[in-house]
Amino acid sequence: MILLGLNTVHPDVYGLFPNRGMAMKPSDLGTAYVEGRVSRTGKVMQLDNCNPTVGNCATALAAQMGFEEVYLVGMDFGFPDGDKHRSKLSIHYKMKEEDQEELGFSVDSEREIKTAPGNFGTTVSTNALYIAAGKAEEHVVADHPRMTCAHVSAGLKIEGTREMRPDEIKLDNAPFDTKAVAAQIVERAFARDGLRALDRGDTERVFSGTADALAELEAIAAVDIDTVEAGLDVLKRLHDRIVALVSHDGDEYSQLILKGSVNVFSLLLAQALHRTRDAAQNVEIYRDCRDRFLAFCRLARTRVSGDMLRLDERRRDLEAMLSHAP
């Protein structure tokens, strides 16, 4: 069995499979590091539109690996059965209810539910998360015109795909050694011979200046505020300092941390300042979000100051868990 996944999959999972391939998320810190410090060719497989679901990742992988005939199975991206978006026997529904709601696994009366065009000329109840997933699929299909996709799920309509019911699928290929062909495709797509051995002390050298930069931003954000205007002034100072820090040549990895993670927090803080019509309440919301940002800065400084390639000490024992699985 071959495992294909993203760089967000835990390394212990990859360790369970002797044959595996790892694709990378674009504009990701790990992607930049592997491309610049690990890959001998300076190239890695990057998957556009691989979020927000694993189905998006699978379609993006198929497109990048050169498949021309793809069948989308289980791409409901909504709630065609009323209150579930997949089989009620799925392990997802063994999670806590609050976790299901957070991940969009079930209909929540407080969540914004929309009615959208469905496959086979129907309509389907869905939400913003699954609409985004459907749009990601449409982008992959549009970007790879040689790939034809048959959509066989009774869920959200995906433009550019062909409606097909499961009993209409006809696979007319002559028999072939699927195991051998799959191994060849993976070997060709992932070029695993072109990787350098990891240098355990490399991340400490690469991120030597990032901890100081994070400390500067933390000091700016830590200033307490009592008005919306004061909060906006702090955000402007954060923005100006980030611009100055990322303009430094040759520090691509620090730039990704500062421009990506920090700017996302800046956006959330700005939204907090305009969350309600009550300015005083907005200031309190801002303070709560700011405390989370400060916690991020402290954690990030700790991580980049040490060996970022070292796994944490939690035991997962995945192999033992699988050996006892039914």
pLDDT reported for residue 110 = 40
Which of 123, 90, 91, 129 has the alpha carbon at shortest distance from 107?
Answer: 129
Distance CA 121, CA 303 (A): 51
pLDDT reported for residue 114 = 84
> What DSSP element (H or E) covers 2?
strand 2-6
CB 206 within 8 A of CB 251: no
Contacts of 236 (CB under 8 A, 6+ apart): none
Q: pTM here? A: 0.76
Would you kindly state where each structural domain of the chain is located, as residue ranges? 2-194, 202-304
Is the torsion defined by CA of 153, 120, 51, 93 positive or negative? negative
pLDDT reported for residue 109 = 41
pLDDT in tens, 163-211: 999 999 988 778 888 889 988 888 888 866 667 777 767 877 787 778 8
Give DSSP secondary structure letters for 186-250.
HHHHH-GGGBPPP-TTHHHHHTTTHHHHHHHHHHHHTS--SSHHHHHHHHHHHHHHHHHHHTSTT
Which of 6, 59, 15, 29 has the alpha carbon at shortest distance from 190?
Answer: 6
Mean pLDDT by 10 residues, the chain (326 residues): 89 86 86 84 88 93 94 88 63 64 54 84 88 96 96 93 93 84 87 71 79 90 95 93 72 73 84 94 95 91 78 70 62
pLDDT reported for residue 44 = 86
- Strand-pairing partners, residue 163, are 151
Q: Which two tokens stand for residue 247?
A: 């303009």
Which of 265, 207, 208 has the alpha carbon at shortest distance from 235?
Answer: 265
Give DSSP secondary structure letters for 243-291.
HHHHTSTT-HHHHHIIIIIIHHHHHHHHHHHTSSS-HHHHHHHHHHHHH
Distance CA 143, CA 26 (A): 16
pLDDT reported for residue 325 = 56
One-letter amino acid of 26:
P
